[in-house]
Amino acid sequence: MTITDKNCVVGIEYELKEAGKNEILDSNRGGQPLEFIMGNGHIIPGLEKALVGMKVNERGDILVKASEAYGEYYDEGVQTIPIDQFEGVELKEGLTLYGQGEDGQTVQVTVKSFNDKEVVVDFNHPLAGKDLMFSLSVLSAREATADEVASGQVGGGQEHCGSGSCGCGH
């Protein structure tokens, strides 16, 4: 099956590096495939666009520019906050913290530095401003079921049994 841009359930195995560098940032090689429904914003836009037209068992190296990945790095994303906002947190540089934004969504920040009065945090995604290189294999592709289309989730929001024998068409 050829991957389409909408309502196609895709399973991939990948290795992620910053373009031009050798350090592996993320990988699921040898583990569970990353499964998602195309067209639902589950993966970064540049990767989703590059997958359209690929077929099962196809491999590829896909370069995704920062603007199509986690966006550009914004200096305004670095803010200084009074340390009393972090009461009970054992601070260290590079620490990732999660909080709630003004409109209720989860916000991730990274501690850049701190002293006894204030903490400098970065609201940018850790991969913002970076071009990414995905080395991937398409392991599966199929039409989404009606339940999956309705829920926007692989498996239609049902719990997975993990064995592949759940009658879900794998």
Give the model's confidence band at 165: pLDDT under 50 very low, under 70 low, under 90 confident, else very high.
very low
Q: Read off the pLDDT of residues 45-66 as tens digits, 9 standing for 90 and up.
A: 999 999 999 999 999 999 999 9
d(C-alpha 33, C-alpha 154), whole Å: 12
Give me the domains of the chain, ranges plus CATH numbers: 8-70+128-155 (3.10.50.40), 75-122 (2.40.10.330)
Q: Max alpha carbon distance in the chain (Å)?
A: 58
**Euclidean distance between CA atoms 18 and 26, whole angstroms:** 10
Q: What confidence tens digit (pLDDT) does each residue in 65-103 have? A: 999 999 999 999 999 999 999 999 999 999 999 988 788
Question: Which element (helix H / strand E) includes 46?
Answer: helix 45-51
d(CA 140, CA 12): 7
